[in-house]
Amino acid sequence: MGKMIPKIRLSGQELNNALYLAVEFAQGDNRSGRLLKEFFPDGFRNVIIPGWWYCQIAREIVAKGCLRGKIYPTVPVKRLASIIGSYFWYALAIAESNSGSEAGCRRVLEGIVNNLGPLRLPLFKKLQKGSPRIIDSFNTDILDRLTSLFPSHNETEHACNADQLFQQIEADRGEGKEIDPQRYRTEIWALMGENRVIDAFQKLKQLTDRGVTPDRYSIWEIFNKLAEQKKIIDLIEYARWRSLHNYPLNVKDASILMKATREKKDHFVYRQTLEFVEEIDLTPDSILILEILCAYLELNRHKDAQKLFDDVKNGAIPLDEHHYNVMINISAQQGDPVKAKLYFEQAKKIAPQDVAIYGSLIHAYGKSGDTKSAQQTFDEMEKNGMTPNAAQYGALIHAYGRSGYAELAHEVFYKMIDKGLTPGVVEYGALIYSYGKSGYAELAQRKFDEMIEKGFMPNSALYGALIYSYGKSNNAESAQQTFDRMIKNGLTPSASLYGALIDAYGRSGYAKLAQQKFDEMIDKGLTPGTVEYGALIHAYGKSGYTGLAQRTLGEMIEKGLTPGVVEYGALIDAYGKSDDSKSAQQTFDRMIKSGVAPDSALYGALIHAYVRSGYPDIGEETFRNMPEEIAISDEERIRFYNLIIRGYVQAGLIKDVHRMREERSKL
């Protein structure tokens, strides 16, 4: 007889983490399935699992429609049952019965018949006998209702009207009758069934104020509903209430909160959520770490991201290609393709066939202006037998467009189509941006109209690309018309859309109108981020208002935003246009001190400031002292030479002109 394997008892946090992974796996996330198996190294029979754990998973899966085939296929649900055991089917049957869906119950029963073989008869008997003692949050008549389904399969729906239930409960209160806690819980469930989540939260407060212990399902479901509806402020308030009532957030809850906030795409709310999560005394797992890294990426908190990543990199928490992918994108934001490449190599060891990391590296090279390396990375992906999808083509289109190579961007776009891929709004947006960057606003408009003719509905980002195109062509009037057209078509402008319009007015030299649009954005309840502040700084600089540009940068920092190379570069450029190289250098030094790594474009702004101020020699010295790790393309290097040569020409220093021209000819 073989050696008996001792049973494992999972901790509360491990159970919660496993529960989260099980629900994600049931929705088709294979990665969660792989992580879930780590909790069952010797199979589910050797792990002690409480009944509530199965029931909670079942409720989540039923609520998300995984069994009905409307959202996800049933195959992942079957695979989940094979991992965590046949008791899962029992919990699913009860959960469907509790939802009031007889059709759903029948679906589960069919699953039991088709998947459990000889085990189906004992499970049927268990359902007919009924044993709701495993968890006290179910109605006592659940199993009776379920048993009645076996012979009839009637397709009727049970409806629970919350308002009627309230009236009955209030009447009982008025008569002095003792209130059954179960009826209170049913009241909360009815509210959630009608998507009245805030009301459900208030009823939960009343429940606890009367000394009744709430059930796990109510606590869990209200949290999930608020997250699904992206009611982040209410979600944070609810999380604080939970903590005060001894139901603190666990790691899984914190991950759900961070994910919901990320998807809401509101920087102000994102900062609030991140601060709240950072205050919680939690030991993060790999999923929460990934969400925090994404937040740092979105909020430009590069130093915090680097510190967190370094702290966990060599620890017990496993990092996968997704973590490294975020760090590739953070390196791209910092204008550091060398570091991005290092993270890419690490990610490639974990997931060598992951096309997403290739796309991120292409983006990093594109952001630094190194189109040659971007193309080589794309070619390497194809050489290694991978098939690029539209996202990687889009990254390459954007790389060429960012460097002003609209023709090459155009070529890549049509190569993608020739490969049988259908460009979406992102790829169209990248090409429209490319046309705009090169000053081809008319082509951008034509491509925008073509996209609509093909049946694509432009989103706000695409309107933003077109507004940017007109702004780049110094056509603020057409930019405003595009903005108005977007609103007329029913889209609500975001802060980034206002940022594109502010930039358009700034480029056209209308700083006051740019300020008006900035104020209008705030009046609309939108919170400006780094991009919007940067656009206003650039607008002031373009019109020579360096004092206002400096004040705006200070206000941005006071608001808790971290300026990046674009924002500092806009201020340095403003000082350069005002022939104030001293202030430009001071701003550059302050940026270095704050931990922001300069890129080649920012060095170009500083060199330009010195040249305009009559100091081409210091401009040349700045050029030659650029750190070696900053990638400079040959085209960009030639532009720097031309800028410095022009400065020497204006200063009448002919020998230096000939010397620099000779060096340039050798490139």
**Domain holding 199: CATH number?**
1.25.40.10
CA-nearest of 355, 356, 354, 377 to 365 is 377
pLDDT in tens, 594-620: 888 888 888 999 999 999 999 999 999
Any idea of the CA torsion for 427, 432, 438, 443, to the nearest 10 degrees? 130
Same domain, 116 and 265: no
Question: Is 64 part of a structural domain of the chain?
Answer: yes
Question: Is 147 part of a structural domain of the chain?
Answer: yes
Domain range spanning residue 82?
8-152
Same domain, 37 and 172: no
Is residue 382 within 8 Å of residue 359, measured between CB atoms?
Answer: no
**Confidence (pLDDT) at 600:** 86
Average pLDDT for residues 82-95, to the nearest whole number?
Answer: 74
pLDDT in tens, 10-36: 777 777 778 888 888 887 777 777 788
Q: Which residue has the tokens 């925008």?
A: 448
Stated pTM of the model: 0.58
Q: Which of 321, 346, 369 is the last residue of a domain?
A: 321
**Confidence (pLDDT) at 178:** 55
Residue that wins the pLDDT comparison between 169 and 382: 382
Rg (CA), the chain: 30
Any idea of the CA torsion for 506, 509, 512, 515, to the nearest 10 degrees? 0
Q: Which of 152, 175, 203 is the last residue of a domain?
A: 152
The pLDDT confidence band at residue 162, using thresholds 50, 70 and 90, is: very low
Range in 98-102, 115-119, 613-617 with the lowest mean pLDDT:
115-119
Same domain, 314 and 167: yes
Evaluate if residue 170 carries a pLDDT over 60. Answer: no
Same domain, 126 and 209: no
**Confidence (pLDDT) at 135:** 39
Residue that wins the pLDDT comparison between 28 and 308: 308
Range in 91-95, 386-390, 495-499, 557-561 with the lowest mean pLDDT:
91-95
Rounded to 5°, the CA angle 98-99-101 comes to 110
Name the domain count of the chain: 2
Question: Is 274 part of a structural domain of the chain?
Answer: yes
**Confidence (pLDDT) at 618:** 95
Evaluate if residue 128 carries a pLDDT over 60. Answer: no
Question: Is 46 part of a structural domain of the chain?
Answer: yes
Average pLDDT for residues 308-329, to the nearest whole number?
Answer: 90
Residue that wins the pLDDT comparison between 160 and 429: 429
Is residue 363 within 8 Å of residue 332, measured between CB atoms?
Answer: yes
The pLDDT confidence band at residue 143, using thresholds 50, 70 and 90, is: very low
Helix (H) or strand (E) run with residue 176 in it: none
pLDDT in tens, 38-62: 777 666 666 777 777 877 888 787 7
The pLDDT confidence band at residue 488, using thresholds 50, 70 and 90, is: very high
Same domain, 116 and 208: no
Residue that wins the pLDDT comparison between 109 and 607: 607
Q: Residues 640-647: contacts with CB within 8 Å, 24+ apart? A: 640/604, 640/607, 641/667, 643/604, 643/607, 643/608, 643/611, 643/619, 644/607, 644/611, 644/616, 644/619, 644/620, 646/611, 647/610, 647/611, 647/614, 647/615, 647/616, 647/619
**Confidence (pLDDT) at 38:** 76
Question: Is 628 part of a structural domain of the chain?
Answer: no
**Confidence (pLDDT) at 127:** 58
Could you give the CA distance from residue 324 to residue 342 in angstroms, rounded to a whole number? 10
The pLDDT confidence band at residue 151, using thresholds 50, 70 and 90, is: very low
Question: Is 341 part of a structural domain of the chain?
Answer: no
The pLDDT confidence band at residue 148, using thresholds 50, 70 and 90, is: very low
**Confidence (pLDDT) at 115:** 60
Range in 53-62, 70-79, 272-281 with the lowest mean pLDDT:
70-79
The pLDDT confidence band at residue 217, using thresholds 50, 70 and 90, is: low
Of these ranges, 89-93, 153-157, 381-385, the one predicted with the greatest mean pLDDT is 381-385
**Confidence (pLDDT) at 475:** 94
CA-nearest of 604, 613, 614, 599 to 643 is 604
**Confidence (pLDDT) at 552:** 94
Residue type for 537, please? I
Same domain, 13 and 138: yes
Same domain, 180 and 315: yes
Residue that wins the pLDDT comparison between 475 and 189: 475
CA-nearest of 607, 614, 606 to 648 is 614
Instruction: State the distance between the two ends of the chain, measured CA to CA, in whole angstroms.
Output: 77
SS3 assignment, position 643? helix
Same domain, 187 and 308: yes
Cβ neighbourhood burial of 356 (10 Å; 0-12, 13-18, 19+): middle
What is the sign of the dihedral through the CA atoms of 309, 311, 314 and 316?
A: negative
**Confidence (pLDDT) at 390:** 92
Same domain, 92 and 199: no
**Confidence (pLDDT) at 455:** 85
Residue 8's DSSP bridge partners are 47
Question: How does the average pLDDT of the chain come out, rounded?
Answer: 82
DSSP 8: E
Is residue 331 within 8 Å of residue 347, measured between CB atoms?
Answer: no
Distinct helix (H) and strand (E) counts, the chain: 38, 2
Find all residues with CB under 8 Å of 484, minimum gap 6, and list them.
Answer: none
Range in 156-165, 269-278, 586-595, 614-623 with the lowest mean pLDDT:
156-165
Same domain, 102 and 15: yes
Is residue 314 within 8 Å of residue 348, measured between CB atoms?
Answer: no
Same domain, 87 and 182: no
Take residue 595 and report the two structure tokens written for it.
């931990």
Same domain, 198 and 299: yes
Question: Is 121 part of a structural domain of the chain?
Answer: yes
Q: Which of 109, 134, 152 is the last residue of a domain?
A: 152
Question: Is 355 part of a structural domain of the chain?
Answer: no
pLDDT in tens, 548-568: 999 999 999 898 888 888 889
**Confidence (pLDDT) at 41:** 67
Cβ neighbourhood burial of 281 (10 Å; 0-12, 13-18, 19+): exposed
Residue 157's DSSP bridge partners are 101
